[in-house]
Structure 1
Amino acid sequence: MKSRLAFLLVGILLLSFVFSAFVSGAQSLPKGNWVIALSNSYYGNTWRKQMVDAFVNVGEEAKKKGYIKNYIVVNGDGTQNTQIAQMNSLILKRVNAICINAASPTALNGVIEKANKAGIKVLAFDSIADSPYCYKMDFDFVQDGVERVDYVAKRFNGKANVVQILGVSGSAPAIRMLQGQNDELKKYPNIKVVAQVQGEASASVAQQNMANIIPSLPQVDAVLTQAGNASYGVVQAFEASGKPMPLILGDNTSEFLQWWLKMKREKNYETISLGSAPGIGGAAFWVSLAVLNKVKVPKEIRLPLSKVTQDDVDKYSEMKPGTVVSPDFTYEYVLEHVINTK
């Protein structure tokens, strides 16, 4: 009896070992000679800089562990022609994969197809291209617009004067967030858009352009921002104007959240903040590496937005300046929750 029990225990241990090895192997990465590039169309705000940092951080990790040979980062000036030229240069360098945060949903389609024909895997992320020759990974930007409008409608019982702050010119996120806002505004005929202001997802641009038109505006009840980096710039413009502070919806930047916390303590100021996670730069790297290693990856991936409410904003009291709310994406997390999400 004892010998049978001992044999059974050994068998269980062996099965446990095999199962553990299988799970570990499923999560592990093979060594590789890959070169993965980032083509980033625009580098002019906190979000984009944090996104690039996320890509670089995981690129360094992968390089040290031998998963790749190298990675390349190319930042553009926000124009389509510059990014097309940079993409052509990456094709000539014969990189294995390109993660592209595109300047336009359509203007990069030709060079993406060219990369595909050269055998290069392309992942368009965040500001995606609609080319059929690339994988796509972004956020539900239309929903961002919908949620902002619904929140304003609830706070003002469906009647308000609002200003819309626009995002990066020509980018897919800016187009879709505005689409979400405008479609939802049709449900509330008494919410009037009294101005649209170009913010370029930049606090400094939003501040200057908002300040220029505040004197000519009627009472502003709310400001519909977009995910990016403009909300605190709008705050600064209204503070400098001496006009009453409207309801300003946030973009998950540290500067806006710290201002909100201060106003919450002093005046019980209430709002919400929505944003896309700049950690997607790291996720894009891991997804591209998975594609190169022949992991089955969906052609289209949608990530959830991050939302901060009145009840949980206090969690961000120690948030570092110059950052945006975002998780860090490990390969294991991406494999389980991004690539394999049903």
Structure 2
Amino acid sequence: MHTRRDLLAAGAGAALAGIAGTAAAQTYEPGCFKPFSASTKTIQYPARKGPYRIALANGYAGNSWRIQMIKSLKAYAATPEIKPHIKELKVVSTGTDVAAQLGAIDNFINAGFDAILTIAVSPTSFKPVIKRAKDAGVVLIPFDNVLDTDEVIQVNEDQFEMGRLMGRWLEKNGVTSGKVLEIRGLPGNSVDRDRHLGFREIMEKHKGVQIVEVVGNWDDGTSQKVAADAIAVHGRFNGIYTQAGSNGTVRALIEAKHPFVPIGAEGENGFRKMVYAHHKDGLKGASAAQSPGLVAVALKAAVAALQGQKLPQYISVPIPYVEYPQMAPGKNFYPELPDTFYVANEFPPCNINITAPDIMKQSEGNT
């Protein structure tokens, strides 16, 4: 009879061996779990009998995206597809301190959890905890803010491409010279870094562009303040890219009586409502959404990995993107929902559709 330690050691070895594969090999539900590129490796763990103990080790929880993400996890975990596979679901948010997040992950490993989902506070500090998870046979799945590693399964949208999309949007609307306001996200996170680099790749081709960079923490209130301060100091901008906190960015323009300019922004319901209301006044907006529902894809991947399915090491989720001529109430924004609600929560290839009422009725607290 095999002990749990025997099975865990076998799992660690199998996962490591699986990394040598390529995404061209047959993988589970390829329509849902799409490899990031043709060279993406695969990972496969030995099947483990469910139901499973699964944890979320979140970091920062101080903006509407993170709150909706936690609620989305709880909502998806309660669906008929997933609920039978989950024995226990724990959620903890540790703030922006790397050591605190690593400590939470270690606690879950030591407590015998089968899988741990995480939004990494830092993309570069996880090597020791990755090894500890692997040695214990624990499936560790970073999503959204992912890690600079190919040793674990990860789930994300292409953040470089999201930044490029916003740069191309400004180009398309004639923003190739003058001042451009770039409102960045939470410092130290891979999403902020990669979007920034993608945006700069496009914008820096235009020598006449002067970029003013501020930090909005992906938060409406912070973004509104830093945008207002930038307008007060620098005057008129020809275009804006705001990673999130998009509602606050537009409010800053309105309150400062700054002319509407092309804006590339996130997927907040309020931003799309305001663009729809003001596009004839010059508010030309593009919205590329990093869905809080990524957590559902990560949870589905964790269950599949625990069942022994072969998955791409880096799972790429398509970017939900819409420009102002296509924004329409009831289609890609919803007048009855809060401005802070992120509207892209459907992943048809994964059979995931988390409805707004199901999300809104959940709590965002630790469990």
Give TM-score scaled by structure 2 length.
0.77
Q: Does 1:179 align with 2:202?
A: no
Distance in 2 (alpha carbons) for counterparts of 1:98 and 1:329: 22
For residues 68 and 182 of structure 1, the distance between their equivalents in structure 2, rounded to whole angstroms, comes to: 42
**In the alignment, structure 1 residue 328 sits paired with structure 2 residue 346:** yes
Partner of 2:298: 284
The RMSD of aligned alpha carbons is 2.4
Residue 305 of structure 2 aligns with an amino acid whose one-letter code is V
- In structure 2, the gaps of 5 or more residues are 1-47, 353-367
Q: Is residue 148 of structure 1 aligned with residue 166 of structure 2? A: yes
Structure 1 residue 249 corresponds to structure 2 residue 264: yes
The answer (yes or no) to whether the contact 1:144–1:180 under 8 Å persists in 2 is: yes
The answer for the alignment partner of 1:294 in structure 2 is: 308
Distance 1:241 1:66, change over 3 A: same
Identify the residue that residue 231 of structure 1 maps to in structure 2: 246
Secondary structure, counterpart of 1:249 in structure 2: strand
Counterpart residue number, 1:168: 186
Q: Decide whether aligned partners of structure 1 residues 65 and 211 sit closer, same or farther in structure 2, where only a CA change above 3 A counts.
A: closer
Question: For the residues of structure 1 that align with 2:80 and 2:52, how far apart are their CA atoms?
Answer: 10
SS in 1 for 2:86: coil
Contact 1:286 / 1:331 at 8 angstroms: preserved in 2? Answer: no
Deviation at 1:65, TM superposition (A): 4.4
Amino acid at match of 2:228: A
Please identify which structure carries the higher helix content. 1
Name the CA distance, whole Å, in 1 between partners of 2:349 and 2:238: 44
Deviations 1:279-310, CA, capped at 9 Å, x for gaps:
11111111000000001111111111111112
Residue aligning to 1:308: 322
Q: Is the 8 A contact 1:279 1:327 kept in 2?
A: yes
Cα distance in 2 for residues equivalent to 1:65 and 1:97: 15
Aligned residue for 1:107, secondary structure, equals coil
Q: CA deviation at 1:270?
A: 2.1
How far does residue 267 in structure 1 lie from its aligned partner after superposition?
2.1
- Answer yes or no: is 1:240 the counterpart of 2:255: yes
Q: Deviations over 1:92-125 (max 9, x none)?
A: 2110001111111112232222122111011111
Letter in 2 for 1:258: K
Partner residue of 2:92?
74
- Bigger mean CA offset, 71-80 vs 55-64: 55-64
- Partner amino acid, structure 2, of 1:263: H
Give secondary structure in 2 for the equivalent of 1:161. strand
Contact 1:166 1:199 in 2 (8 A): yes
Match of 1:198 in 2: 215
* 1:217-260 Cα shifts (integer Å, max 9, x gaps): 0321111112xx31111112222223323322221101111111
Is residue 153–residue 188 contact of structure 1 (8 Å, CA) maintained in 2?
A: no
Cα distance in 1 between the residues matched to 2:324 and 2:167: 17
Query: Structure 1 stretches of 5 or more lacking a match?
Result: 1-29, 335-342
Which residue number corresponds to residue 17 of structure 2?
Answer: none
Letter aligned with residue 70 of structure 1 = E
Task: Report the residue type matching 1:234 in the other structure.
Answer: T
One-letter amino acid of the counterpart of residue 207, structure 1: Q
The residue number in structure 1 matching 2:9 is none
Q: Secondary structure at the match of 1:61?
A: coil
Q: Aligned equivalents of 2:61 and 2:245: distance in 1?
A: 14
- Displacement of 1:213: 2.8
Q: In the superposition, relative to structure 1, how do residues 295 and 33 fare at CA in structure 2: closer, same or farther (>3 Å)?
A: same
Alignment-derived partner of residue 38 in structure 2: none
CA distance in 2, matches of 1:302, 1:89: 29
- Cα offset for 1:263? 0.6
Q: Any idea what SS the aligned residue of 1:311 has?
A: helix
Aligned 1:42-191 pairs, distance under 5 A:
42-61=60-79, 65-156=83-174, 158-191=176-209
Residue 263 of structure 1: aligned partner: 278
- Letter aligned with residue 175 of structure 1: R
Q: Deviations over 1:66-111 (max 9, x none)?
A: 2121111111212212211211211121100011111111122322
SS of match in other structure, 2:324 = coil
Runs of 4+ in 1 over 6 A off after TM superposition: none
Equivalent position SS for 1:71: strand
For 1:168 and 1:303, locate their aligned partners in 2 and report how far apart those are by CA, in whole Å: 21
> In structure 2, what residue type is equivalent to 1:128?
V
d(CA) in 2 for partners of 1:182, 1:332: 32
CA gap 1:74/1:330 in 2 versus in 1, 3 angstroms: farther
Give the equivalent residue in structure 2 for 1:210. Answer: 227
Name the structure, 1 or 2, with higher relative contact order (CA <8 Å, separation 6+). Answer: 2
